[in-house]
Amino acid sequence: MEQVNRGVAPGGKTASAEGEPRGNRGGDARGRTPWTRGRVLASLAVPVAGLLAFHSAVPNTVGNLGSLLETFLPWLGLTVPVLLVLALLRRSATATAATVLPAAAWAVLFGGLLPPTGPEAPYDLTVVQHNVNDENPDPAGTARALAQAGADLIALEELTPGALPVYGAALASGHPHRAVVGTVGLWSRHPLVDPRPVDIKPKDIEADWSRGLRAVVRGPSGDIAVYVAHLPSVRIGLPSGFSSGRRDESAAALGAAIGAEKLDRVILMGDLNGTLDDRGLAPVISRMTPAEEGFGFSWPAALPLARIDHVMTRAATPVTTWALPPTGSDHLPIAARIKIWP
């Protein structure tokens, strides 16, 4: 008579009726379950979430790593889908759940940048900010594009003596009022008064260097102080790392000038060579309200990776902002609509 030995697997292990070792449902051949697999992947999600949530704690003492991280901070969000796909391929419940941490941190930081779905709020002015590039191969085409943008105010940086007449001629009909200081300029539909330089020159620059402008726009319902600024460039390299000392010094000077401004309503437009998350721009950002709807990456124009061209206001409300199509510059023009008067 043949004896049926149910429940005993080869090797003496107790088995279920289906032949699977008891206590190993959902596990693999090595006994790992979806909750015990993928712990390494899960551990990677934690520091990503930490960098997003506590980026200001990363010090600038070595190579300005904190500012470098903050310059490209939104791109850390790309790690979320990568980790999620790897977790699903690994069939790891632990790693899948862990991706919630960086996803939530990214959503808190940048979820508010997504454009609203409702009707656009009323606005009073449309402004355009553009670093036109001093090596622009087509200043005439750039000038035509700016003239057709429908802006009330146009702020330009990296103006050269040779290109200035080209921009002046193209913008004159729609923007008859202009102020130019050094390599920055402002064109306006409304009268401009009291144009003057703003000293944002770093102390170690001895050459002629004028990249700050302040003028008063005589708007239909009151005066507005308008600043145009081009802060020094930053550099990434060895052994210095992220070199932003001049930019930071210039930002402090610009912030002090805006802080001393006597007019209540202020608009700042410029290439600030830094993102809104970069602590180096804190002296400016702390005094202003940025136009930050959407990500608005403006540089480099061929593959925009960072928003370094900005429109900011004081005692006025940015309604919406967007990037305009590429010109001959290595930056994209940035446009914004602003509510100035009640």
- State which of 7-21, 231-245, 269-283 shows the largest mean pLDDT: 269-283
Q: Which amino acid is at 273?
A: N
Mean pLDDT of 294-301: 92
* Residues 253 and 199 sit within 8 Å (Cβ to Cβ): yes
Residue 239, pLDDT > 90, answer no
Mean pLDDT of 160-186: 98
Listed by start position, the domains of the chain span: 14-113, 125-339
Residue 10 pLDDT level (bands cut at 50, 70, 90): low
Token code pair at residue 298: 């403006």
Residue 188 has, within 13 A of its CA and on its CB side, a CA count of 25
Please tell me the predicted confidence (pLDDT) of residue 29.
58
Please tell me the predicted confidence (pLDDT) of residue 118.
65
Residue 23, pLDDT > 50, answer no
DSSP, residue by residue, 240-263: TEEE-HHHHHHHHHHHHHHHT--S
Residue 238, pLDDT > 80, answer no
Taking only the tens place, the pLDDT of each residue in 192-218 is 999 999 999 999 998 999 999 999 999
Please name the CATH architecture into which domain 125-339 falls: 4-Layer Sandwich (3.60)
Quote the radius of gyration of the chain (alpha carbons, Å). 28
Residue 30, pLDDT > 90, answer no
Distances (CA, A) of 209 to 133, 201, 309, 315: 16, 7, 20, 30
The CB density around residue 44, as the number of other CB atoms within 10 Å, is 18
**H/E element holding 126?**
strand 125-131
Bridge partners of 157, per DSSP, are 131
pLDDT > 70 fraction of the chain, expressed in percent and rounded = 89
- Please tell me the pTM assigned to this model: 0.84
* Coil/strand/helix, residue 337: strand
Residue 26, pLDDT > 90, answer no
Token code pair at residue 77: 């969000």
What's the mean per-residue pLDDT of the chain?
Answer: 90
Mean pLDDT of 298-316: 97
Please tell me the predicted confidence (pLDDT) of residue 153.
98
**H/E element holding 178?**
strand 177-181
Residue 293 pLDDT level (bands cut at 50, 70, 90): confident
Taking only the tens place, the pLDDT of each residue in 143-163 is 999 999 999 999 999 999 999
Which residue has 């790891």 as its token pair? 92
Mean pLDDT of 219-244: 88
Please tell me the predicted confidence (pLDDT) of residue 19.
47
